[in-house]
Structure 1
């Protein structure tokens, strides 16, 4: 799949009798956006703290950019930018002044710091507000400034812990779009920790479903969907058919249904009124469209429903079921 940037092996964190993170194995690769998804208290933040070397694991190992985060946390911090859910800034200073302070803490010269800060303010869309005191910033503006703040040291990895809390929908969309652009253009690896399913599905290449300290599943949405719903219908394709005369078209429709049922990927085929519904374990919408036309039937519409992250998330919690990981 590529170069592993974050590698967790048997990672466990216990507080007395309470296990916050339980034997976690996880690989996150260079340039990908990985979503760590789970409810509050699932162990996501504890995992992040161990990745950053801010707390030691009870057992197991964590390597970030090839560095042991437990024995060499300072070097990890040089390579990783961390954006918590609420960023602390000096309220009486401007956005630019806050970033310059961070740049100097990271040992950039004043000249290099000024150039880097101005570039980042432009990049995150805060150039016009650069001179405004941070105490006057909106929540969305503060998170954008926070993103610029973690990028000052040009990190290889950025960790975002619930970064969109309290931001309006437009601000969320713009923030997530910015994350995707940065990851793609600069090959930054992003770990996004969240309990907002829709946001995670929008931007993440892969997701890990985390609950009660355990990673229950890992993979992209399509792989998880195929595995979880293989006994059902991962893809549901609905085809609108123009029926001029049901009696005249009945033979063609029945023939088409018979042909479709013989396809290896098809689970079910039904026809009601003017809708043909095909349940399948693969996306065969193009094949279905071609067959409808070849059967001499009028194709009026074709839509496909794919199980989303909300369906997958719900499935994992039905009856306390736990499923294996998807590589």
Structure 2
């Protein structure tokens, strides 16, 4: 019985080693990890989230929040059932054996992920929609923070607050977040500043607030509510998610434009007459948003739906770990 159990364990170890090697080889090629639209074809949100974050962590070769939310203790040999994200790939490269990093259980950071689920986020163009990109980014950020033993929560909204999960470092809590993200649909109008004012009293402890949105709201009103969050000593980071078509306006033939938030609102326009004016106003809108965020010490990052997720994760870590943060 003992030998049979030992053989079974060895077979399981070999299978796990094979899977880890294949996963490492696939992720090392950076394809299709660099293409959000191709990644979406993998199916469920949890699968894509793991691929994105595990690939990103392998590229880091270290705990991105080392010395902040977790404290490294020691290495030990990998055993079946250990989390893949804790494998030290640098040690594997030197020894040919799998070792995992052990960390002290600490939770210094509480993060609220705020996801815009309004109708304008449904725009897709030739890529995946802004909403699909945004919810995958939210899931990846949550998984990354959870892997560092940080507490992560979720708030979804459109014209009003929808789902609300308090921050927790419990994986079951993250499972609930993934389920909400998987089933969420973009609809209704946008009211970012109104929702932020409603959410502010619910965030009682000092936290990191990450807003993911296309930011189609009045910049002045949005900045006012972001300033209130900063006044409460929260760190605030704004991810603006845009479609390439919104930045380039590549239309050449008369096109029917319809509102994704107001039913029945549509208009036929000649793109040649509209393009220059549209691009000027759009660029001014983004510049104003970035400038006003800077004035209230809110970190502002803009990403297209074609940008690899690892760029957004890297920018997030750079903002979190840079010296002199207020």
Same fold (TM over 0.5): no
What interval of TM-score do these two structures reach, taking the shorter chain for normalisation? under 0.3
**Which structure shows the higher strand fraction?**
1
TM-score, structure 2 normalization: 0.26
TM-score, structure 1 normalization: 0.26
**Which structure shows the higher helix fraction?**
2
